[in-house]
Amino acid sequence: MSTEGSQAGVRAGRLDGRVVIVTGAAGGFGVPLCDMLEREGATVVGVDREGDGVLHADVGSEAGNRSMVETALERHGRLDGLVLNAGVQYLAPIDEHDEAQWDRLHDVMVKGPFLAIRAAWPALTRAPGGRVVVTASGSSFLGEAYKAAYVAAKHGVLGLMKVAALEGAPLGLTANAVAPAWMRTPMVERQLEDQMRLHGKTREEVVMGMVERHPVDRFVEPEEVAHAVAFLLGPEASGINGVCLPVDLGTLVG
């Protein structure tokens, strides 16, 4: 294991011996997240629809979620944590919103996490210490124009997390969420054209508008969110259950 994380203030070995599934593992947040968890000692089973070095599965489907859990158990004989991070985006006014896109977003970001938790439940509750962490968003608390499906999905996954927390607590399982503010990831980059068109702004104006929502004049770094996920997966977070931790530079305070 590299000592670089320890020198930077990371508690190396926090997740030693633990097997963790991470969905959306090939994305702009997923890659640094998996790197962080591996530096902490976890064995990571990365899952995405495409990308190198990951298990290819459709996490919006029952078959995909069952497959990733079975694969983790076949390879490693145990499963200690789920990080449900897969996400997609679609922008449109409500009166023009495509129904198929609504279904796609909710399959990936609400139904998918439900199916993943259901499939992994026996393994995660086999002994105390199982962990579920979902990637929520500032959109889990606030509305945003032209994002009906995304905002509804991000609100919905918090409800799922709270139920999992209540049902899992007697079995030693915790379920929590992290809620990042704007990160400069490829998914954010891909929505800039739609933001420009729908809001009638230039690219620079859209980007500056994202940053200006934060009390600190910058984007959130993926590594900052990854540290929060690693903490919630680790033993120090055993008493934290059913919460959503904002990693947003203080955005929700204002």
Amino acid 187: pLDDT? 85
- In three-state secondary structure terms, 221 is coil
pLDDT by 10s per residue, the chain, length 254? 333 333 344 445 899 999 999 999 999 999 999 999 999 999 999 999 999 999 999 999 999 999 999 999 999 999 999 999 999 999 999 999 999 999 999 999 999 999 999 999 999 999 999 999 999 999 999 999 999 999 999 999 999 999 999 999 999 999 999 999 988 888 888 888 988 999 999 999 998 988 888 999 899 999 999 999 999 999 999 999 999 999 989 988 86
Give the full edge-to-edge strand order of the sheet including 43-48.
55-56, 43-48, 19-23, 81-84, 131-135, 174-180, 244-247
> What is the per-residue pLDDT for 103?
97
Q: Which residue from 155, 152, 216, 157 is spatially nearest to 182, judged by alpha carbons?
A: 216
Q: What is the pLDDT of residue 8?
A: 42
Task: State the pLDDT at residue 12.
Answer: 58
Q: What tokens were used for 26? A: 């090939």
Could you give the CA distance from residue 184 to residue 163 in angstroms, rounded to a whole number? 31
Domains, in order of start, for the chain: 4-180+220-243 (3.40.50.720), 183-219 (no CATH)
Catalytic residues: 150
Q: What is the pTM of this model?
A: 0.90
